[in-house]
């Protein structure tokens, strides 16, 4: 019966060693790299690591190299299907192009939130929170 209970500790990471993985961090960054080793705190080492950003149907990669990731900062970690990876329906563009579009979109969202907060505030609603570190 105990064999049916899945690992929920850092021991479950053993299956990912030497495989290409996607990591989502608490701050929203997405990292792709080869999972090399880990410790009892789920800290791990990524090799051939890149940071990927995307906006709509475009993406850009920044080469990082070797990166040590603290386990407490990881939201999601999963193996990448190497066959499906080649069939991504996104267009690769430069980092600055995607970053510029993301910044413009964030400014637009902030303007929209400010207007919405004023309208809701005039109706008696209170907005205490913003997007942030909700993990």
* Protein fold of 2-92: SH3 type barrels. (2.30.30)
115 phi and psi angles, rounded to 5 deg: -65, -45
What pLDDT is recorded for position 7? 59
Contact 33, 41 (CB under 8 A): no
Enumerate the domain spans of the chain: 2-92
- Predicted local confidence at residue 32, as pLDDT: 96
Tokens of 14: 């053993």
pLDDT at residue 43, as a whole number: 93
Give the mean pLDDT per block of 10 residues along the chain (135 residues). Answer: 61 87 95 94 94 95 96 93 86 94 95 90 76 53
Handedness of CA 66, 71, 72, 75 (dihedral sign): positive
Q: Which residues of 2-35 are buried (b: 16+ CB within 10 A; e: fewer)?
A: eeeeeeeeeeebeebeeebbebebeeeeebbbbb
Closest among 82, 75, 63 to 20, alpha carbons compared: 82
User: What is the pLDDT at residue 3?
Assistant: 59
Give me the pLDDT at residue 123, please.
Answer: 87
* Residue 36 pLDDT: 95
- Cβ neighbours of 115 (radius 10 Å): 10
pLDDT of amino acid 101: 96
**Interatomic CA distance for residues 118 and 122, integer angstroms:** 6
């Amino acid at each position: 019966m105990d064999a049916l209970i899945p690992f929920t500790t850092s021991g479950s990471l053993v299956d990912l060693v030497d495989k290409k993985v996607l990591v989502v961090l608490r701050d929203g960054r997405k990292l792709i790299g080869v999972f090399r080793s880990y410790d009892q705190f789920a800290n791990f080492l990524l090799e051939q690591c890149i940071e990927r950003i995307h906006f709509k149907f475009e993406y850009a990669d920044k080469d990082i190299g070797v990166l040590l990731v603290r386990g407490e900062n990881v939201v999601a970690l999963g193996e990448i299907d190497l066959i499906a990876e080649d069939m991504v329906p996104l267009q690769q563009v430069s980092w600055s192009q995607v970053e510029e579009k993301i910044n413009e979109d964030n400014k637009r969202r902030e303007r929209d939130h400010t207007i919405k907060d004023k309208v809701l505030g005039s109706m008696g609603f209170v907005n205490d929170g913003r997007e942030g570190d909700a993990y």
